[in-house]
Amino acid sequence: MTSDLELYHGLASTCSKKVRLCLYEKGLNFRSHLLDLQAFEQHRPEYLKLNPNGVVPTLIHRGEPVVESNVIIEYIEDAFPNTPLRPADPLGRAKMRWWIQFSGEVAYDAVALPTWVKLSAPVASKLSDEELKQVLARIPTQERRDRWARVARDGVPEDEIEHCYAEMNRVLKKVDQAISRGPWLAGEAYSLADIAMVPFVDRIRGLRPDLCAPARYPGVADWYRRLQVRPAFGPAFDFKDDPRARGLPNI
């Protein structure tokens, strides 16, 4: 066990769930700093000193910040190699890294806009023009400012949402195909590949449960069931190790 880890994270954040799952799989203690993302706490100046992009999660280890969830889980594996979460063979590790990259480039984009519609759009719609201006001024990256400015007032075009749904199917199909060769995404061993991907499949289940019907993707259903019964899954996804968790949305 260790006590020199701190995690700045969001309760419903898929990327935060990924890092929490990795920490719990390794049995690591950490000090929780749970941020209210709907109150834009991730854009406060004190947090931007740790993570200039103003996103979660951020891991602090021995006073040094590590950012970007896929980087963080590899860092945890390097720093705490007991309970290994990388395949032992080079091909398995290559497959694992492919899935980590796929999680960040495809799976994240598949759920990001629909999640925004569910969690952040109701908040944005209630902001006055002056309040929205203040929120936008605190967002540190131009891309995120532009996206907020566009969708906060105009909403998300239906064709963009439909594209996300098509990408959700693409994600599920890829997972299903991999598990047919399984039992885990990178082969015989449970690994960072499964940790990187399961928050996004879990989010798809919440946003579009019809896409995840066992008859449609039986491999996905079996894989997800086996992940759910792992001891680390519940604490990571239904996170309660912080008093603030009781007042924040979690999907």
Question: Does one domain contain both 72 and 22?
Answer: yes
Confidence (pLDDT) at 2:
47
Q: State which residues form the domain around 105.
A: 90-230
Question: Does one domain contain both 76 and 138?
Answer: no
Checking if the pLDDT of 1 tops 50, the result is: no
Checking if the pLDDT of 97 tops 80, the result is: yes
Question: Does one domain contain both 114 and 202?
Answer: yes
Checking if the pLDDT of 129 tops 70, the result is: yes
Q: Three-state SS for 54?
A: coil
Read off the CATH number of the domain in which 45 is found: 3.40.30.10
User: How distant is the alpha carbon of residue 23 from its chain centre?
Assistant: 14
**For the segment 4-33, what is each residue's pLDDT rounded down to a tens digit?**
999 999 999 999 999 999 999 999 999 999
**For the segment 189-238, what is each residue's pLDDT rounded down to a tens digit?**
999 999 999 999 999 999 999 999 999 999 999 999 999 999 999 999 99
Question: Does one domain contain both 147 and 46?
Answer: no
Checking if the pLDDT of 168 tops 60, the result is: yes
Instruction: List the structure tokens of 238.
Output: 């239904």
Question: Does one domain contain both 80 and 146?
Answer: no
Distance CA 68, CA 187 (A): 25
Beta-bridge mates of residue 187 = 184
Task: Give Cα separations from 179 to 155, 188, 189 (angstroms).
Answer: 37, 10, 12
Using left for φ > 0, alpha for ψ between -120 and 50, and beta otherwise, residue 208 falls in: beta
Question: Does one domain contain both 79 and 98?
Answer: no
This prediction has a pTM of: 0.94
Look at the chain and report how many structural domains it folds into: 2
Read off the CATH number of the domain in which 174 is found: 1.20.1050.10
Question: Does one domain contain both 219 and 196?
Answer: yes
Question: Does one domain contain both 146 and 45?
Answer: no
Checking if the pLDDT of 146 tops 90, the result is: no
Which residues contact residue 19 at a Cβ distance below 8 angstroms, ignoring those fewer than 6 apart? Answer: 7, 9, 57, 59, 69, 72, 73, 76
